[in-house]
């Protein structure tokens, strides 16, 4: 049986983005008329056209300050659909951070991360031990509170609600929409 702590270790290839990347840049209004698979094709549609063809399963999105300012639309469902395994930012908008965690997508705050990580670098993060490493670089960060890690451990809020008997079992695997 795998020790729970190992589930907190994530390795992936970094994509580097800037400051104040807003939700409309990742999940534009017109994409809200589309199902998840279609909408996911429009992530960063204007900021970095073609990115959704390049991103691979397990990749990590690394961004600057104020990441995800804007809407409550669940961008994390699109990023997960594209295979993104974690978000790392120098600072998150709190609504965006919650949306990621609540949808089972780890999101960690590492101030100045872009001073140490370049695009394409392979990096490893440990959610509960609070470290990020890449090559010779190792950075410590404050791990998420236990109450929040519990949500990630359950795979997000919806699987947890199923586990706790609030939602029927068959919804556990159901994709949104």
* Contact track, other proteins, 17-56, x by CB under 8 A: ---x-xxxx--xxx-xx-----------xx----------
Q: Binding to other proteins (CB under 8 A): which residues in 104-143?
A: none
H helix or E strand, kind and range, residue 14: strand 9-16
Piece in contact with other proteins (CB under 8 A), picked from 3-11, 86-94, 113-121, 129-137: 86-94
Residue 140 sits at φ, ψ, to 5 deg, of: -90, 145
Least Å from the CB of residue 15 to other proteins: 20
Question: Cα–Cα distances in Å, from 38 out to 22, 27, 31, 123?
Answer: 20, 11, 8, 29
Least Å from the CB of residue 65 to other proteins: 7
Among 72, 111, 112, 137, binds other proteins (CB under 8 A): 72
Question: Cα–Cα distances in Å, from 139 out to 6, 39, 44?
Answer: 18, 34, 28
Least Å from the CB of residue 30 to other proteins: 7
Among 12, 40, 43, 77, binds other proteins (CB under 8 A): 77
What is the rounded CA–CA span in Å between residue 33 and residue 40? 12
Which own/partner pairs from 35-38 qualify as long-range (CB within 8 Å, at least 24 positions apart)?
A: 35/177, 36/77, 36/78, 36/81, 36/175, 36/176, 36/177, 37/81
Q: Which residues bind other proteins (CB under 8 A)?
A: 20, 22-25, 28-30, 32-33, 45-46, 65-66, 69-74, 76-77, 91-95, 98-99, 102-103, 145, 147-148, 156-158, 160-161, 164-168, 171, 174, 176-177
């Amino acid at each position: 049986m795998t020790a729970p702590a190992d589930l907190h270790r994530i390795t992936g290839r970094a994509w580097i983005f800037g400051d104040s990347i807003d939700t409309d840049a990742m999940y534009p209004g017109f994409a809200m008329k589309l199902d998840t698979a279609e909408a996911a094709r429009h992530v960063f549609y204007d900021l970095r056209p073609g990115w959704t063809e390049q991103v691979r399963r397990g990749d990590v999105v690394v961004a600057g300050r104020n990441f995800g300012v804007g809407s409550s639309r669940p961008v994390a469902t699109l990023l997960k659909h594209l295979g993104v395994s974690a978000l790392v930012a120098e600072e998150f908008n709190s609504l965006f951070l919650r949306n990621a965690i609540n949808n089972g997508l780890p999101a960690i705050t590492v101030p100045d991360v872009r001073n140490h990580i370049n695009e394409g670098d392979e990096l490893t993060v440990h959610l509960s031990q609070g470290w990020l490493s890449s090559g010779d670089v190792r950075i410590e960060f404050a791990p998420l509170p236990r109450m929040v890690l519990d949500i990630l451990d359950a795979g997000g809020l919806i699987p947890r609600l199923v586990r706790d008997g609030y939602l029927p079992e068959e919804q556990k695997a159901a994709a949104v929409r």
